[in-house]
Chain A
């Protein structure tokens, strides 16, 4: 029988941002405070902040209705516009002078090409050279030239002023080299077998500048002397999955392996950087047989890999990496592995095009003969609504045993989205609330005859308080939306603020305000 009453203990806990990214490896009760169980269709535009990602916009169609993009490439030409080349499942290679046009005008370069093997491209001696196992050819912007006596491989890489090729089915270990400085001439003795007869096949060529990197599914070797073809194995444990999944970003080189995305170390085994996504790289989730069709991109401060999920040979899931948001080690100054997010967007191949004052990311649609502008300033994917899915870890407000009364949440953000509360590690949605930071003051001028009310999403970050009136031992926030517009982010640059188009909403912080109750239920 109680003999005395005590005041309930007030509790307030603030989230710590979301720079930890998505973590599907760790048990849900073990996540760090800045990690998320789910983070799909959101970007980490600023450290700690989540933005809904921008949408994708169709730039028109190519070929026949059943055609899909296999690979694409930006062919830069000094003093004039770059061309974008697109190889399709129709066996056709197209080019366009202006991928920003809508619709894009595609002109055929060649037909009768492979309908399944993505073309590999390299620019050298002012021409773009390409191969896909049935042809080796060049294009100088107006003339298509084939080289019938060249080896017919699938992968090309330029290294040390020389074109290198591999991927001949009958000679799976063989790497060829053109004459130095001349990718049109292939000497008969310029070849070497890498890890000959090991039961594996070369599936990618890359370079870190120092070495020619020769990737197979189970191991990676390097050719370190282009004159003598001297080589050695650099990684005995990790292999590569796709020629198009090597990404240079700042001082690092990344690639896709069976284990996940790795950071190339040069003279020692590569380091896995996608360990928070370990559970993804399973045959029940990804189509391992189609990982060769995976495709990587790099735009701004992030890079991503489009991967085929089970049931699809074409990439359906994008994992995106933020190397600059990793932890900084103060003694060495090094940056550790950064956070990841995921996207589901209708783009399967990628190429970044920088021309004049613009830099955009384009790619072929994964389910239509459309060419897309990825992360375009639109709020839909090819006109269709897409939702963001966020699920945080569970917060117990520092008290894992006792039930809490969650009075309200004070949030910092922008735009409008839906916040749902899950409790006690259960999957059911407990409470649903709309978080609305949209414009609170009339943007119309005072002289307007009409314009009462609000107008448009507000670029300013704001606070909002939503009453939840909920009881639980632990809480998780699930965030979703059905918005179809874009928002603005004011980026301060000294005395001037630049407005940037970003996703419709942002979520930076939530403060839980409640009370710790007794042990219940």
Chain B
């Protein structure tokens, strides 16, 4: 799907981050939340991006922006 068709808001991602209990990694936690949405299409078109393939898994794409959230994967 195209980026604008992704039905996940930053508010949702922030809630996932805030709900992470420290078990495993934050990345795995976010991945599991994305998987739980059970979206019909789990890849996103990224052909407008330098250095990225034309499509990539949605969870990977969202993880690329984790540093912009209040609690990053760091």
The reply to whether B3 and A229 contact each other, CB–CB distance below 8 Å, is yes
6 closest Cβ pairs, A-B complex: A189-B6, A229-B48, A149-B11, A149-B14, A196-B50, A188-B8
Q: Is B28 an interface residue (CB 8 A)?
A: no
The reply to whether A151 and B4 contact each other, CB–CB distance below 8 Å, is no
A382-B20 Cα distance, complex, nearest whole Å: 57
Among residues 152 to 170 in chain A, which have CB atoms less than 8 Å away from a CB atom of chain B? 152, 168, 170
The reply to whether A148 and B51 contact each other, CB–CB distance below 8 Å, is no
Q: Could you show 22 A-B contacts with beta carbons less than 8 Å apart?
A: A148-B70, A149-B14, A150-B10, A152-B68, A170-B68, A171-B68, A180-B4, A185-B9, A186-B9, A186-B11, A187-B3, A187-B8, A188-B12, A189-B3, A189-B8, A189-B58, A189-B62, A192-B48, A227-B2, A228-B45, A228-B48, A229-B49
Q: Most chain-B CB neighbours within 10 Å: which of A152, A176, A190?
A: A190
Number of interface residues of A (CB under 8 A): 30
- Starting from the known contacts A171-B65, A188-B9, A228-B3, 8 additional A-B residue pairs (CB-CB under 8 Å) come to A149-B14, A186-B9, A187-B9, A189-B62, A191-B68, A193-B49, A227-B4, A229-B48
The reply to whether B13 and A188 contact each other, CB–CB distance below 8 Å, is yes
A176 — which chain B residues lie within 8 A by C-beta? Answer: 68
A149 — which chain B residues lie within 8 A by C-beta? Answer: 9-11, 13-14, 69
The reply to whether B68 and A151 contact each other, CB–CB distance below 8 Å, is yes
Q: Most chain-B CB neighbours within 10 Å: which of A168, A188, A190?
A: A188
A185-B4 Cα distance, complex, nearest whole Å: 12
Instruction: Return the contact of A171 from the options B44, B61, B67 (Cβ within 8 A).
Output: B67
Q: Is A231 an interface residue (CB 8 A)?
A: yes
The reply to whether A148 and B67 contact each other, CB–CB distance below 8 Å, is no
The reply to whether A187 and B4 contact each other, CB–CB distance below 8 Å, is yes
A150 — which chain B residues lie within 8 A by C-beta? Answer: 10
B54 nearest CB across to chain A (Å): 12
Q: Residue on A with the closest CB to B61?
A: A189
Among residues 8 to 48 in chain B, which have CB atoms less than 8 Å away from a CB atom of chain A? 8-14, 44-45, 47-48
On whether A193 and B50 interact (CB within 8 A), knowing A170-B68, A188-B13, A188-B62, the answer reads: yes
Q: Is A230 an interface residue (CB 8 A)?
A: yes
A193-B68 Cα distance, complex, nearest whole Å: 13
A282-B44 Cα distance, complex, nearest whole Å: 46
Among residues 115 to 164 in chain A, which have CB atoms less than 8 Å away from a CB atom of chain B? 148-152
Instruction: Return the contact of A190 from the options B3, B14, B50 (Cβ within 8 A).
Output: B3
Q: Is A65 an interface residue (CB 8 A)?
A: no
